[in-house]
Amino acid sequence: MKRLILFLLLAVAVLFTASLVIGPAGAPVGRSLSALFSDDHGPLSMVMREIRLPRALLGLMIGVSLGMAGAGMQGYLRNPLADPGLIGVSGSAALGAVLAIHTGLSAAFVLGLPLAALAGALAGVFLVMALAGPRGGSLTLILAGIAISSLASALSSLVLNLSPNPFAANEIVFWMMGSLADRSMTHVWLALPLMALGWLLLASLPRGLDALTLGEDAAEAMGVNLTRLRLKLVIGTAAAVGAATAVAGAIGFVGLVVPHILRPYVGARPGRLVWASALGGAVMVLASDITVRLILPTQDLKLGVLTALVGAPLFLHLIYKTRRAEA
């Protein structure tokens, strides 16, 4: 476990640095990094501080959020298919964000955007949890998720199509697939408070999640308050995923892939998995964001395209395994 965490921390550090030094401006690595800390490099300092740094920070923060939320949900529902993107939480958060932007709420009130995304995400999580039930049977969970994501994305498209702005309709792709291109420190500060709240709540889950592996009765006998656990999970997930989606769109599959890969290394203990997945999520989002910049440097390839290319085959594999286990 300790070795795994060290390895993941190292990977995050390396990828974070790589994210800072890779970009179309093409300045040498050393000069780029020193420009980050001193004003002597003119425009390069501005590029590093106002363009690259927020992008790398957001990649890190969003990865942590998605990884933690995925591991938390999977632990609570005891179902490896739970992922905030797949079960419609990201989609409903995107709907909240789209509504905030196009009704002018985000312009009128600083925290309007992340709070609206939080409201959307909360509605999404509540719906899914209510439909799937506390034990979260695979089939109902996925069906509820599909219904909620489709409804949320349809409503987002409707809002964007009704906008008088000619560019709005093209942004459907951004909200469905997510991107970190051209974000600024403003977005970092906008997302951070809500995300931090989400992290705190999700970080308080591990003991309860570990106890839950023994079954609900045993967990309650061990003093775990299931109602509170559930509430913390729901609000924590909604806050973390809502804030992430508000600034970067819905990035899918991170919360599915990361816990799945890391589970064997933490002895399949859901509590430890939450921590490992936080780092693993950061690794996955940072790596994907570097990759989109390397393959299509000028075209803003959406992050969700890459995570889906990795995640969807794994998802199919998991469905197949689950079906066999149930049969």
Partner 1 sequence: MPRQAARSISGFVRPSKVISLLAALVLTGAAAQADPAPRRVVSMNLCTDQLAMLLADPGQIVSLSYLSTDQRSSAMAEQAASFPRNQGQAEEIYLLNPDLVLSGRYTGVATVNMLKRLGERVEVFLPAYSLTDVRERMLQMGRALGQQDRAAALVARFDADLGVLRENVQNRPLAALYYANGYTTGDKTLAGQILLAAGFDNAAVKAGQSRGGNLPLEVLVMMQPEAVVTGAKYPGQSRSEAILDHPVIRALQKDRETGSVADSDWLCGTPYVLRAVADLVALRHRVESAE
Residues binding partner 1 (CB under 8 A): 23-25, 27, 42-44, 46-47, 50-52, 101-102, 104, 106-107, 163-168, 170-171, 174, 182, 184-186, 297-300
Q: Nearest approach, Cβ of 207 to partner 1 (angstroms)?
A: 40
Dihedral of alpha carbons 140, 144, 150, 153, sign: negative
* Cα 75 to Cα 23: distance, rounded to the nearest angstrom: 38
Residues 277, 259 contacting (CB under 8 angstroms) = yes
Which residue lies nearer to partner 1 by CB, 163 or 213? Answer: 163
Q: Nearest approach, Cβ of 46 to partner 1 (angstroms)?
A: 6
**Long-range contact set of residues 11-15: C-beta below 8 Å, sequence gap at least 24:** 11/279, 11/283, 12/60, 12/279, 12/282, 12/283, 12/286, 15/282, 15/283, 15/286, 15/287, 15/290
Residues 286, 60 contacting (CB under 8 angstroms) = yes
Which residue lies nearer to partner 1 by CB, 17 or 184? Answer: 184
Which residue lies nearer to partner 1 by CB, 65 or 106? Answer: 106
Q: Nearest approach, Cβ of 158 to partner 1 (angstroms)?
A: 14
Q: Nearest approach, Cβ of 186 to partner 1 (angstroms)?
A: 7
Which residue lies nearer to partner 1 by CB, 98 or 274? Answer: 98
Q: Nearest approach, Cβ of 25 to partner 1 (angstroms)?
A: 4
* Cα 316 to Cα 80: distance, rounded to the nearest angstrom: 12
Which residue lies nearer to partner 1 by CB, 166 or 223? Answer: 166
